[in-house]
Amino acid sequence: MLLYEEPHDPRDQCIIAVSGYVCGSEHTLRAVFLACFICAVVTMVAAGAVIAYRLGHGLMTSLYRRIDEYLMPMPVDVLLVGWFVEKLLRTIAYAILFGDWAGYRMPYEVIYLLASTFVRITVVQFTIGIISHIPPVFSQRVRSHVRYYGRHAPRSPATPPSPTTKTLEQHEKYLLYVPPIRALYWFNVIYTTLWVLFTLGSGVLVSMGSSVSTVRFNFVFNEILSIASFFNYIIILLVSAYYCYGFYRIIESHTLSSSRSTDSQEKEKKVASNFRKIFLAVLALPLINILGTILRSIFVHYPSITSQVRIADLLLHQIIVYCCIEWIIFAFIFRSSRNQVRSRGASRAFSSSPSNNFSHPGGNTSGSKLQAASGSMPAPSTTQATLTTFVGSEASRREYAAHSTNGATVSSAPASPA
């Protein structure tokens, strides 16, 4: 017995995500489902290995960080955990497809749709996390001090003062608009809740029987899902393009004033360059998903398209595109995390050397302006400007605090998204 019985409507021909072996040769589809299963397992293991490394070295302590009263995502860690869960769900779904377990059709529908939803939620949370960690020196937003909860909470402000008037005047025409943290928080909560509820309800309804009315509902549901996904990725694409271009203009302004640039301005330029690279990477994800959404909507409207084309689309997106991009990103994050750990060890060795103490008068205060404006504690500097080089962790912030108690701050790059 197949996952999907013989279709009652021509529009229901060969939708691989739900129709199983109706789409064509059993041997071909078994090979395709097995390849997708193996790819999902390998990607899940890779994500788990990077998560374990970051946990073991204190780079990953929580998925959310309190900013101005609200819990905001730590983008790198949310991306890793989100894709790990997504690949776990896809592994289960492909196992059900490969085994053709008809009795698990409803769980399969829900699991497969949840996996697709996790991709959207993870990309949105990553983008929101990056935006919420943009230093105020680059933005028009003036962040307020944190109101603390609990009578025993520490009383020192978690958010440093806003940038100086001179800094704001110098970069006034290049400042980026950053929504209030409250707006970002509630958008994240509402967006995530609606997508999860929509997915769970749709998965249950799609899996109920194979009557003509249900088949028609599946057709309408696929249209709604395609439209919603399309606009979802279009918004992410536009937002990422705005911030990518904005940071490009900031870098250009620093380059034009390089003849009189200070060490603090060089650090600002370096951080702006890293944020630009991050948003360039974010641009690739919605572009790929927009292409996939368009192809799937075409397949729904034109069922005469051969099953070979649909199978090729499945292989292209689930193996060649998604898995390869995720492997590259995981390798990038792992290399950056390893460099951060090595830099932290070198910083500790330098601070413990008798000939290099930090108690001399004046100290090293380079970059303090941007650190005060960035809204987060700096992390030890590294030699490579990569995605997680400027990702501050709790361990690095504690280390910085220990160094700063000796009378001066360590020269370091400002922390940005974590």
Give domain status of residue 356, yes or no: no
**pLDDT of residue 225 exceeding 50:** yes
Most distant CA pair in the chain: distance in Å?
A: 83
CA distance 22 to 210: 14
Give domain status of residue 119, yes or no: yes
CA distance 102 to 112: 15
Give domain status of residue 332, yes or no: yes
What does residue 354 show for φ and ψ, rounded to 5 degrees? -60, -30
pLDDT digits (tens, 9 = 90+) for 137-170: 777 654 444 343 344 444 444 444 454 555 445 5
295: its two tokens: 């192809």
Give domain status of residue 261, yes or no: yes
Burial class (CB in 10 A: 0-12, 13-18, 19+), 28: middle
Neighbouring residues of 325: CB distance < 8 A, sequence distance ≥ 6: 284, 285, 288
HSE on the CB side for 8, CA within 13 Å?
11
Give domain status of residue 113, yes or no: yes
HSE on the CB side for 404, CA within 13 Å?
15
Give domain status of residue 2, yes or no: no
pLDDT digits (tens, 9 = 90+) for 78-113: 999 998 999 999 899 888 888 777 566 677 777 888
With cut-offs at 50, 70 and 90, classify the pLDDT of residue 45. very high
107: its two tokens: 């769980």
Ranges of H-type helices in 149-306: 165-170, 181-206, 212-256, 263-301
**pLDDT of residue 358 exceeding 60:** no
Give domain status of residue 353, yes or no: no
Q: Which pTM does this prediction carry?
A: 0.68
Check if the beta carbon of residue 288 is closer than 8 Å to that of residue 294: no
CA distance 9 to 214: 10
Check if the beta carbon of residue 231 is closer than 8 Å to that of residue 297: no
222: its two tokens: 């696929």
Around Cβ 212, how many Cβ atoms within 10 Å?
11
Angle at 126 between CA 286 and CA 51, to 5 degrees: 115
Which CATH number fits the domain that encloses residue 317?
1.20.1070
**Number of domains forming the structure of the chain:** 1
What does residue 263 show for φ and ψ, rounded to 5 degrees? -65, -35
pLDDT digits (tens, 9 = 90+) for 313-349: 777 777 777 778 888 888 888 888 888 888 887 777 6
Give domain status of residue 405, yes or no: no
CA distance 204 to 221: 12
Domain span at residue 373 reads: 10-145+156-345+365-400
Neighbouring residues of 225: CB distance < 8 A, sequence distance ≥ 6: 202
pLDDT mean over 232-253: 78
**pLDDT of residue 44 exceeding 80:** yes
Q: What distance, in Å, lies between the first and last C-alpha atoms of the chain?
A: 48
* Residues facing 53 on adjacent strands: none
